[in-house]
């Protein structure tokens, strides 16, 4: 909710509590009787985190520690943390979970710190945790206002308004786009599937580990713009942003093997289906 989107969507019957995740005393009561925790609350935008790194670190590091501690005290069955592919930075692609961190901005530093807190809570306290590194999430209801909204939603709004599509840099930067429903399914499976797997004679416990959630395919921003506009919209270019990787591409072998998850949607096909 810190993103100040124009709309938020809640299912009927959901009990919505608004809290500051850095406030331990306020948060504790929410975990009574809870079996599974999906931790998505964060300063979730890259550029605002660059502009205000203290705010990002406070929410994404301290806030995650508070939520983990509350989950530990409530003895939840499993804790699923929403992380980010931006922790890969300029690593060689496709990005695999064994690569070293290459955090290019305060947002990625703060989110990858959250992963390390999850692993520590698993190793030290025995809390089952899974960290999911989302690549570029797209889908219905994406916010379309503001310069930090997801690129597909911005292009859609600009096309409908008859405005030029604004592309940051030369548009040749490539992104792995993953559909929101695929992400939701990854969360469900990572919370409910067995976390221990037999490999030969060994039992491997994946608690505390990181899993990529991407499509395994990437497209340039120019290709996305062409798909949205059908080649009929004017294009304008904005200055390149600092602190952003040129290419993202997920290796998704691990999440396929451990949780049986595979993506079902392709971003270009989805854009065409919306027309």
Residue 222 or residue 148, greater confidence: 222
Q: Are strands 136-138 and 177-179 parallel, antiparallel or unpaired?
A: parallel
Same domain, yes or no: 98 and 171: no
For 129-157, what is the mean pLDDT? 84
Same domain, yes or no: 72 and 102: yes
In this structure, are residues 179 and 42 in contact, taking their beta carbons and an 8 Å threshold?
no
Residue 161's pLDDT band, with cuts at 50, 70 and 90, is confident
Q: Is 13 inside any structural domain?
A: no
Q: In the prediction, which pLDDT does 200 show? A: 86
Q: Can you give the CATH number for the domain in which 157 is found?
A: 3.90.25.10
Confidence check: pLDDT of 148 > 70: no
Spatial distance between the Cα atoms of 152 and 218, rounded to a whole number of angstroms: 14
Residue 157's pLDDT band, with cuts at 50, 70 and 90, is confident
Q: Is 11 inside any structural domain?
A: no
Confidence check: pLDDT of 183 > 70: yes
Containing domain of residue 36, as a range? 24-136+179-213
For 240-261, what is the mean pLDDT? 92
Same domain, yes or no: 57 and 165: no
For 163-180, what is the mean pLDDT? 93
Residue 88 among the catalytic residues: no
Q: Average the pLDDT over each of 18-32, 66-80, 135-149, 181-195 and give the range with the smallest value.
A: 135-149
**How many C-alpha atoms does 1 have within 13 Å on its Cβ side?**
9
For 7-25, what is the mean pLDDT? 91
Q: Is 6 inside any structural domain?
A: no
- Mean pLDDT of all residues in the chain? 92
Q: Is 16 inside any structural domain?
A: no
Same domain, yes or no: 107 and 63: yes
Residue 198's pLDDT band, with cuts at 50, 70 and 90, is confident
Residue 160's pLDDT band, with cuts at 50, 70 and 90, is confident
Same domain, yes or no: 52 and 121: yes
Spatial distance between the Cα atoms of 218 and 212, rounded to a whole number of angstroms: 14
Same domain, yes or no: 99 and 164: no
Determine how many CB atoms are found less than 10 A away from the CB of residue 105. Answer: 20
Residue 147's pLDDT band, with cuts at 50, 70 and 90, is low
61-to-53, 83, 119, 230 alpha-carbon distances in Å: 11, 12, 13, 42
Same domain, yes or no: 91 and 205: yes
Please pick, among 88, 93, 107, 219, the residue that the annotation labels catalytic: 107
Same domain, yes or no: 64 and 190: yes
Q: Is 98 inside any structural domain?
A: yes
32-to-36, 37, 101 alpha-carbon distances in Å: 11, 11, 35
Q: Is 153 inside any structural domain?
A: yes
Same domain, yes or no: 69 and 118: yes
Same domain, yes or no: 201 and 157: no
Specify the number of domains making up the chain.
2
Q: In the prediction, which pLDDT does 240 show? A: 85
């Amino acid at each position: 909710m810190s993103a100040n989107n124009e709309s938020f969507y809640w299912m009927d019957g959901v009990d919505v509590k608004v809290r500051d995740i850095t406030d331990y005393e306020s948060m504790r009561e929410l975990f009574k009787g809870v079996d599974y925790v999906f931790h998505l609350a964060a300063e979730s935008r890259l550029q605002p985190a660059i502009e205000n790194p203290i705010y990002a670190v406070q929410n994404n590091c301290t806030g995650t520690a508070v939520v983990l501690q509350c989950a530990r005290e409530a003895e939840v069955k499993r804790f699923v943390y929403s992380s980010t592919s931006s922790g890969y930075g300029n690593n060689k692609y496709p990005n695999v979970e064994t690569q070293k961190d290459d955090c290019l901005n305060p947002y990625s530093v703060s989110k990858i710190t959250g992963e390390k807190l999850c692993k520590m809570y698993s190793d030290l306290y025995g809390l089952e945790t899974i960290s999911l590194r989302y690549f570029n999430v797209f889908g219905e209801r994406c916010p379309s206002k503001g310069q930090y909204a997801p690129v597909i939603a911005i292009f859609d709004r600009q096309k409908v308004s008859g405005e030029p599509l604004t592309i940051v840099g030369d548009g040749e930067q490539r992104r792995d786009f993953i559909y929101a429903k695929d992400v939701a399914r990854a969360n469900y499976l990572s919370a409910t599937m067995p976390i221990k797997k037999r490999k030969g004679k060994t039992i491997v416990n994946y608690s505390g580990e990181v899993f990529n959630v991407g499509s395994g395919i990437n497209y340039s921003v120019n290709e996305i713009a062409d798909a949205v506009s059908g080649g009929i919209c004017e294009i304008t270019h904005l200055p390149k942003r600092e602190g952003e990787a040129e290419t993202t591409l997920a290796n998704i072998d691990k999440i396929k093997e451990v949780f049986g998850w595979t993506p079902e949607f392709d971003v270009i096909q989805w854009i065409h289906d919306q027309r």
